[in-house]
Chains A and B, each alone.
Chain A
Amino acid sequence: MSHALIRRRSLMKRLGAAGFLAAPVFREAFAEAAATPPLRLILLNLPGGIPFKGGSEEQLDTFFDTMLKPFAALQSDAFVFDNIQNGAGDLVSTYFELEGHGGGCRSIFGAAVMDQGCKGTASCGAEENAYRYGTATTIDQHLAKAIGSRTQFPALHFGTLWDKGQGGDHAECFFNNGQPVRPMADPMAAFTRLFGNKAPSANTGSTGPDALTVNKRARGKSRLDALYAEIAEVKAIAGRTERAKLDQHLTALRELETQLPAAQDGAPVPQKGTSCSTPSVTAAADIRIVSAAFNGLAYQALNCDLTRIVALQWLSSGDHLPRFEWLGCKTDHHTMEHSSNGAEYIKAQTWILEQMAAFVGMLKATPEGNGNMLDNSIVYLASEMGNGTHLLSPALSVMFGKAGGAFRPGRRIDMGGRHINDVLLTITKTMGLNASSIGDAKFNKGVVSLA
């Protein structure tokens, strides 16, 4: 699909839309492109691991009868990756022996540890000085750079109460060139950013922008051009640390530029799903309401083809605030993580997994092409910890979806100690980016056969 669409755009530029559509062969290519649903990646993250007993479960049913019970209806759409290693996380713990979270969720999404900041001693002062991520880039950002220009938002990140847990450095899962890409935490602000104050328009094809849209784009572009120049000026006199900060700022502005209204024909045409509509969002701080709002926003962002890369994060690694009192849990999440699979930990994790299952279920329930949205997606669920014993490994992660037919799910994959990086590499290549490794190359052996 993607290649056909790209071919169409470049040809349109050369031939003009009218000439393009007049040629039968191109009409056929266009029809094919429009009919093929887009391939999407959704990353799901929760802190503290997926509760499981470990051992030698070989039957897929075993998982879905116990810790993955919330996903029972999705068993035939799932891969369970068992005995998986998190090399980057282990490295962090090696550099800094008291860092029990392996650097947090960033490690599991491909942020390679670039440097040992404290030169080998465990007495590094702050944890953050013990290891550095240098120019680390996580899988979402690699792919956003590769395919993000096809949609209004290269990637979208939603974080349910992710930034209020006092988890500090652990809270950030996603990085671009060493700088954190922080999730949206406020559903109302996210709604405004994605949908403004109006329902998404029907996909009627490209008819050309009106004068107001042209002016709005010109005004926005003019403003951003001035800001780019301002950043370049400051960067020229700034030190090393500030330059990295400005790079992140620049990246943020460039993403804003992609959100300017299209001013010319030939711009990417969104492939909106038939269920594309404005989600309902309520302002609240309650985890249940925020979670539901982000599920709805993420679902419609994909359904309306505003983006093809989404990350949904629940809480953050090392969250120190009580969140689940309504479930009868009295302790904070991080304390639960230390509870050796205690009852409160199981309750909290199960609830989060249920929210994830609800989201994946929405994709599965939405018809698309010859199947459903989940068939055309890769949903990858991972946590920075193994389970409720506060250990990094052995870890479990889960994937859902057929990746447009590239994957044959409904299986347990025994990773046999291979690193999570191989799963990330498999995803990356399936999404169309020809990478040789993700994260630290030494943790990559190659793609995992999921066909």
Chain B
Amino acid sequence: MAPATLSVVRPLYTFIAVWSLTGGCSGAVRSTDSGDDGAGGGAGTSEQTGGAGSNGSAAGPARAAPTMLRRLTNTEYRNTLVALLSLPQSPKDSLSADPLSKAGFDNFSSQLTVSTTTAAQYAALSESLVSAWKAPACAGAETDCAKTFVASFGKKAFRRPLSDTELQRYVALYTDERTRGTHAGALGQVVETMLQSPKFLYRSELGNPADGANRKLTPYEVATALSYLFTGSMPDDELFAAADADALRTPAQIEKQARRLLGLPSAKSTLRGFIEAYAGITRLSEITKNAETYPQFTAALHSAMKEETSRFIDSVLWEGDGTFKSLLTNTTTFVNADLAKFYGLPGAADPTTFVKATPLHRAGLLTRPAVLAAHSKANESFPILRGKFVRVALLCQNLPAPPKVVPKAPEPAANATTRERFAQHASDPACSGCHRLIDPLGFGFENYDGIGQYRETESGKPIDAAGVITDTIDLDGPFMGAVELSQKLASSAEAQQCFALQAFRWMFGRYDADDEAKIAEAAQTALSREGLNIKDLFVSLAKTDAFASRTFE
């Protein structure tokens, strides 16, 4: 089976050109990025792509992603330590949180660096782990044991066999430390150093330097990329064996491993991590709400919302048909006592047991309380955030930053609904340029308050959850409420393509407006072909040429 061809791409670029022509948002609407990858050159614009929608200038094969060193995210780092050192559980640490990209992802390569603080944290954790680590016993000559250990442990730590230079370096390190302490202590010095090596901390996607500018990832780099993509951790024995045998070249070989990895328990939490990033809830635990406005938002309810969302995502991906459509429309969720009360459901009385439920007025990810609460303010629903979330995260459209001077947002009032308070955005020409793209979308979520609780009235007045979508390829028109919006999004090629684009960004840990639209188009085609199955989408992405191709710059 030939790899997917990455050569087309119209809808996204067409959209950009159309939108720019409308001049809707002060003429400042830009390309589709929501990105943060400062590493790249100037991002493409509708002007720069020369009106690609009509003349096809963006056609042609996508330029491969640049070579990268991707520092392990905290999650990947912890998972890798568990696998490498056979730890019974994830180590306790005080790692600084990984920075979030504006796309909501914590794995963007350009943002993952090693600062003095990070280096000190790695050093402290390595020292602590090694102090509890048990060195393998040595039955023969210590130096021979050390050489064997360096080669075997080093291959796992660096996710490839060590070079002769590296072998010599680490054996010399062992020998030097052995002059001051025990054999086990000297092996500990090797481990402690490897755990702080750039070859451990960064996933190499450099390819073979001998190939010049156009590179292919080495078999070990492919094994590593596959492993972190699907399991968030280092390659297992089978992947190492495949890399050793150079059996990760063809799409069929890649697919075989990808599907095997998807069967591992760790794939669940990894793909869930992507969906959470897509939904903008990576830092869900940091949400705070005004206790006066929302006294019911207790720590227990907050925790239950997180658990519910995890279970919902897992259920869609692993128990249901795993499709994008189900993700946005599935009505079955999971509740404990706190959530049952929140939803107004009878039954579930146990705060620790979650049971299946089908609460009214809910369908899919967007109507989960955690998602709604994450895209709200501390004391109100704030349709601006919700409308922006749909535009940027679900449709991959970019909105300009607010102007330098922004009038104060209207405060919640006892005699007005949220929608009424924000009516000024439509009437004031200074606001309406951009807010016409945001507010009518956000108003559709008004049946849910700032913590995602369903409501039919606000300030004694009935809620109007009528929304309107404009400036899209295939979604324009009215809708009533978030459930209907979710259904429309689920069937929208534009939303599907955006989902594929977000998957692409997450997979590569980068965004590149020059090329990603082409790749996303191919991915969306794959998504459609695979019946919109999310797991299959990732397998398809892994089978593309782009997955293992890099450009050295």
Give the B-binding residues of A (Cβ under 8 A): 93, 97-100, 117-119, 121-129, 132, 157, 163-164, 166, 168-169, 171, 179-186, 188-189, 192-193, 215, 218-219, 222-223, 226-227, 229-231, 233-234, 237-242, 245-246, 248-249, 251-253, 255-256, 259, 321-322, 325, 330-332, 335, 338-340, 342, 389-391
Q: How far is the CA of A43 from the CA of B408 in the complex (A)?
A: 31
Task: Pick from B35, B117, B123: contact of A182, CB below 8 A.
Answer: B117
| In contact, A238 and B69 (Cβ under 8 angstroms) | yes
| In contact, A124 and B404 (Cβ under 8 angstroms) | no
B40-48, B240-248, B350-358, B501-509 - the one binding chain A: B40-48
| In contact, A222 and B177 (Cβ under 8 angstroms) | yes
Q: How far is the CA of A252 from the CA of B189 in the complex (A)?
A: 20
Task: Pick from B47, B69, B406, B511: contact of A390, CB below 8 A.
Answer: B406
Least distance between A256 CB and chain B CB atoms (Å): 6
Least distance between B392 CB and chain A CB atoms (Å): 12
Task: Pick from A93, A117, A168, A193: contact of B41, CB below 8 A.
Answer: A117
Task: Pick from A125, A168, A184, A255: contact of B513, CB below 8 A.
Answer: A125
Task: Pick from B33, B66, B71, B407: contact of A126, CB below 8 A.
Answer: B33
| In contact, A252 and B118 (Cβ under 8 angstroms) | yes
B77-85, B96-104, B523-531 - the one binding chain A: B96-104
Q: How far is the CA of A128 from the CA of B34 in the complex (A)?
A: 11
| In contact, B33 and A127 (Cβ under 8 angstroms) | no
| In contact, B193 and A223 (Cβ under 8 angstroms) | yes
Chain A residues with CB under 8 A of B116: 181, 251-252, 255-256
Chain B 45-57, CB-CB to A under 8 Å as 1, else 0, gives: 1111000000000
Chain B residues with CB under 8 A of A122: 28
Known contacts A233-B165, A256-B116; 7 additional CB pairs below 8 A are A125-B30, A230-B166, A230-B169, A238-B67, A240-B553, A245-B69, A252-B116
Chain A residues with CB under 8 A of B110: 241
Least distance between B408 CB and chain A CB atoms (Å): 5
Q: How far is the CA of A98 from the CA of B412 in the complex (A)?
A: 28
Does B214 touch A at the CB level, under 8 Å? no
| In contact, B114 and A330 (Cβ under 8 angstroms) | no
Q: How far is the CA of A166 from the CA of B286 in the complex (A)?
A: 11
The 3 A-B residue pairs whose C-beta atoms are closest, nearest first, are: A125-B43, A252-B119, A322-B378
Least distance between A90 CB and chain B CB atoms (Å): 12
Q: How far is the CA of A218 from the CA of B165 in the complex (A)?
A: 22
Least distance between A96 CB and chain B CB atoms (Å): 9
- In the complex where A132-B38, A245-B69, A249-B119 touch, is A123 in contact with B113 (Cβ < 8 A)? no
Chain A residues with CB under 8 A of B199: 230, 234
Q: How far is the CA of A136 from the CA of B94 in the complex (A)?
A: 29
Least distance between B551 CB and chain A CB atoms (Å): 9
Task: Pick from B47, B102, B513: contact of A121, CB below 8 A.
Answer: B47
- In the complex where A332-B378, A391-B404 touch, is A253 in contact with B119 (Cβ < 8 A)? yes
Chain B residues with CB under 8 A of A192: 94, 124
Sample (30) of A-B pairs whose CB atoms are under 8 Å apart: A100-B404, A123-B28, A125-B43, A127-B401, A128-B36, A128-B37, A129-B40, A129-B41, A164-B286, A184-B96, A188-B94, A192-B94, A193-B124, A219-B177, A226-B173, A227-B198, A230-B169, A230-B197, A237-B206, A238-B206, A239-B206, A242-B68, A245-B113, A245-B114, A249-B114, A252-B120, A255-B116, A256-B120, A256-B123, A322-B379
Query: CB-nearest residue of chain B relative to A153?
Result: B116
- In the complex where A124-B45, A234-B69, A249-B198 touch, is A222 in contact with B114 (Cβ < 8 A)? no
| In contact, A248 and B114 (Cβ under 8 angstroms) | yes
Q: How far is the CA of A331 from the CA of B283 in the complex (A)?
A: 19
Task: Pick from B96, B169, B288: contact of A321, CB below 8 A.
Answer: B288
Give residues 1-42 of B contacting A (CB, 8 Å). Answer: 28-31, 33-42
Chain A residues with CB under 8 A of B43: 118, 124-126, 129
| In contact, B123 and A124 (Cβ under 8 angstroms) | no
Q: How far is the CA of A186 from the CA of B43 in the complex (A)?
A: 35
Does B196 touch A at the CB level, under 8 Å? yes
Least distance between B298 CB and chain A CB atoms (Å): 15
Q: How far is the CA of A364 from the CA of B114 in the complex (A)?
A: 36
Task: Pick from A98, A189, A240: contact of B28, CB below 8 A.
Answer: A98
Chain A residues with CB under 8 A of B209: 237
Chain B residues with CB under 8 A of A180: 113, 115
Does B180 touch A at the CB level, under 8 Å? yes
Least distance between A154 CB and chain B CB atoms (Å): 9
| In contact, B99 and A163 (Cβ under 8 angstroms) | yes
Q: How far is the CA of A424 from the CA of B531 in the complex (A)?
A: 60
Does B402 touch A at the CB level, under 8 Å? yes
Does B403 touch A at the CB level, under 8 Å? yes
Chain A residues with CB under 8 A of B378: 322, 325, 330-332
Query: CB-nearest residue of chain B relative to A122?
Result: B28
Does B170 touch A at the CB level, under 8 Å? yes
Chain A residues with CB under 8 A of B36: 126, 128, 168-169
| In contact, A100 and B401 (Cβ under 8 angstroms) | yes
Chain B 187-227, CB-CB to A under 8 Å as 1, else 0, gives: 00100110011110010101001000000000000000000
Least distance between B150 CB and chain A CB atoms (Å): 12
| In contact, B69 and A227 (Cβ under 8 angstroms) | no
